[in-house]
């Protein structure tokens, strides 16, 4: 089968990279190249910037109802192609098609619909200043935004940025991950068919070192929204500091999953299996550090191991498959190295840790890995502190509520946490003490687009979602009119 060649999308047209260079995109399930991706440079970013800057004056003055209509059309067109996008997302990222069909693509659709409606019901502040006059606030679009999205939830997180960005009247230069460019490429046709004016959204494909860094360092791109690793986030802060850019950084996580003895055991176990291994563990919100109260520790560990062994790993197109392939060979090797490290640090591999032996011949070179549970480690070891971002979890016992909170907070990260207890007062106490941007009680990955989302500590800067997205993608000014 011939390889598809992807091109940049600038000013509503597909454009070859300025230097004519491409690199291979690999299909994770087979370990074979299947597409050519532009190796874009700062010249391509500059071309995209000029298109976005040219489009900004008219788009920023387009009324909210008209902008909302375009976003609703984008959502409808994307939804009409749901199966096509789900298959493309699976082939490109390695995840099961069924996961992309039921979660990733529907959530991308929801992103556009939510922000289309949100801007129609936005209310600004106003008040009388007695003896002086009247004050009110007004939101202004910022300009050209740089939107850099990750490889684990490619379309979902890209649209989480695009939708509020253009809803607020900005234009954008987007850079999807070089590992997962396909659904971003397909989205370009949806944007054009929906009637989004030329230049409002531009897509530049390539590496972070070339295209991504050029966006971050561009002197006239005043806003950067980035989802990815903490190390890259630190570089973005450093490289953009001299321009005082507005930043929203959703970075890494090493999330705690706290299971108290008074939990709904079956629900906690079932959901913990999902929060451990969904999307091959390649979700920044996965609960990779599982802390279980000692009276139920052995029972929970045994249940988790048996549940992990029952999960099916293999052909992502099959509806009964639970885990597909990891995104790349390099990432697979990194995850496996952490499993080896866990053993060296004194851990016991309760299950997993290997490539599944029963893979069909066409998937022998794929980047598959069995769901892995490790016990016996100490909280201070690297395996329990560093982000692995794969189907690997550690399980550790605790005795008291205070100990559980201390273990959960003993981390450089602070993205999310799950708490399992039927004691309402305990739930409120623990949730209030956890140092994380999101705390789920007796659930995981419940999504409320009205609520703020972001991390504490090395898990990021800023919040997006609902009003917080509008705050980030606009400048709020106060106007005072004298009597």
Is 436 in a helix, a strand, or coil? coil
Residues 6+ apart with CB under 8 A from 397: 291, 292, 293, 294, 297
Distances in Å between the alpha carbon of 121 and those of 113, 116, 241, 292, 411? Answer: 13, 10, 34, 44, 39
CATH class for the domain made up of 256-452:
alpha beta
Q: Residue written as tokens 């659904």?
A: 183
Q: What's the longest Cα–Cα distance across the chain?
A: 81
Fold designation for 4-251+459-482: Aldehyde Dehydrogenase; Chain A, domain 1 (3.40.605)
pLDDT exceeds 90 at position 124: no
Cβ neighbours, 10 Å, residue 225: 27
pLDDT exceeds 60 at position 1: no
Please tell me the distance from the alpha carbon of residue 265 to that of residue 119, in angstroms, as a whole number.
42
Q: What is the pLDDT of residues 381-431, one digit of tens each?
A: 999 999 999 999 999 999 999 999 999 999 999 999 999 999 999 999 999
pLDDT exceeds 70 at position 266: yes
Q: What is the pLDDT of residues 229-243, one digit of tens each?
A: 999 999 999 999 999
What's the whole-number mean pLDDT along residues 164-189?
98
pLDDT exceeds 70 at position 282: yes
pLDDT exceeds 90 at position 163: yes
Percent of the chain with pLDDT over 90: 98
pLDDT exceeds 60 at position 247: yes
pLDDT exceeds 80 at position 299: yes
pLDDT at 446: 96
Choose, from 250, 370, 387, 464, the residue flagged as catalytic: 250
> Burial, 274: exposed, middle or buried (Cβ in 10 Å; 0-12, 13-18, 19+)?
middle
Percent of the chain with pLDDT over 70: 100
pLDDT exceeds 80 at position 2: no
Please tell me the distance from the alpha carbon of residue 334 to that of residue 176, in angstroms, as a whole number.
22
Query: What rounded mean pLDDT belongs to the chain?
Result: 97
pLDDT exceeds 80 at position 315: yes
pTM assigned to the model: 0.97
pLDDT exceeds 70 at position 119: yes
Within this chain, domains 4-251+459-482 and 256-452 share the same CATH topology: no
For residue 452, give the nearest of 465, 439, 471, 470 by alpha carbon: 465
What's the whole-number mean pLDDT along residues 21-33?
97
| Catalytic (active site) residue 250 | yes
Show the 3-state SS of 175-188.
Answer: ECCCCCCHHHHHHH
Q: Residue written as tokens 């984008």?
A: 74
pLDDT at 123: 85
For residue 472, give the nearest of 448, 446, 458, 454 by alpha carbon: 454
Q: What is the pLDDT of residues 128-156, one digit of tens each?
A: 989 999 999 999 999 999 999 999 999 99
What's the whole-number mean pLDDT along residues 260-288?
98
Would you kindly state where each structural domain of the chain is located, as residue ranges? 4-251+459-482, 256-452
């Amino acid at each position: 089968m011939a390889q598809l060649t992807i091109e940049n999308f600038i000013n509503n047209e597909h454009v070859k990279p300025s230097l004519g260079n491409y690199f291979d995109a690999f299909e994770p399930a087979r370990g074979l190249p299947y597409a050519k991706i532009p190796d874009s440079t700062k010249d391509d970013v500059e071309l995209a910037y000029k298109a976005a800057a040219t489009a900004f004056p008219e788009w920023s003055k387009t009324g909210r109802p008209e902008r909302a209509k375009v976003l609703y059309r984008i959502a409808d067109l994307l939804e009409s192609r749901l199966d096509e996008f789900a298959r493309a997302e699976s082939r490109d990222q390695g995840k099961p098609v069924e996961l992309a069909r039921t979660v990733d693509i529907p959530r991308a659709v929801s992103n556009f619909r939510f922000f289309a409606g949100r801007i129609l019901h936005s209310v600004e502040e106003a008040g009388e200043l007695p003896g002086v006059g009247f004050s009110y606030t007004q939101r202004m679009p910022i300009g050209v935004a740089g939107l850099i999205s990750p490889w684990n939830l490619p379309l979902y997180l890209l649209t989480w940025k695009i939708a509020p960005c253009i809803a607020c009247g900005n234009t954008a230069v987007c850079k999807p991950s070089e590992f997962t460019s396909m659904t971003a490429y397909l989205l370009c046709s949806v944007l054009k068919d929906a009637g989004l004016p030329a230049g409002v959204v531009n897509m530049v494909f390539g590496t972070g070192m070339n295209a991504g860094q050029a966006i971050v360092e561009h002197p006239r791109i005043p806003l950067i929204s980035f989802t990815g690793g903490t190390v890259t986030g630190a570089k973005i802060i450093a490289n953009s500091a001299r321009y005082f850019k507005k930043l929203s950084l959703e970075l890494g996580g090493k999330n705690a999953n706290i299971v108290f003895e008074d939990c709904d055991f079956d629900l906690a176990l079932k959901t913990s299996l999902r929060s451990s291994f969904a999307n091959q563990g390649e979700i920044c919100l996965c609960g990779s550090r599982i802390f279980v109260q000692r009276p139920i520790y052995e029972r929970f560990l045994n249940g988790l191991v048996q549940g992990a062994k029952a999960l099916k790993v293999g052909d992502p197109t099959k509806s009964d498959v639970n885990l597909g392939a990891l995104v790349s060979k390099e990432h697979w090797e990194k995850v496996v190295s952490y499993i080896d490290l866990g053993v060296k640090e004194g851990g016991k591999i309760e299950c997993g840790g290997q490539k599944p032996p029963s893979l069909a011949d066409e998937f022998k070179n794929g980047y598959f890995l069995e769901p892995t549970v490790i016990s016996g480690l100490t909280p201070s070891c690297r395996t329990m502190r560093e982000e692995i971002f794969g189907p690997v979890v550690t399980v550790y016992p605790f005795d008291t509520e205070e100990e559980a909170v201390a273990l959960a907070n003993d981390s450089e990260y602070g993205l999310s946490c799950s708490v399992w207890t039927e004691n309402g007062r305990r739930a409120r106490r623990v949730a209030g003490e956890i140092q994380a941007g999101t705390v789920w009680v007796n659930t995981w990955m419940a999504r409320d687009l009205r609520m703020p989302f972001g991390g504490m500590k090395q898990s990021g800067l800023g919040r997006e979602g609902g009003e917080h997205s509008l705050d980030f993608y606009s400048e709020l000014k106060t106007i005072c009119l004298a009597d």
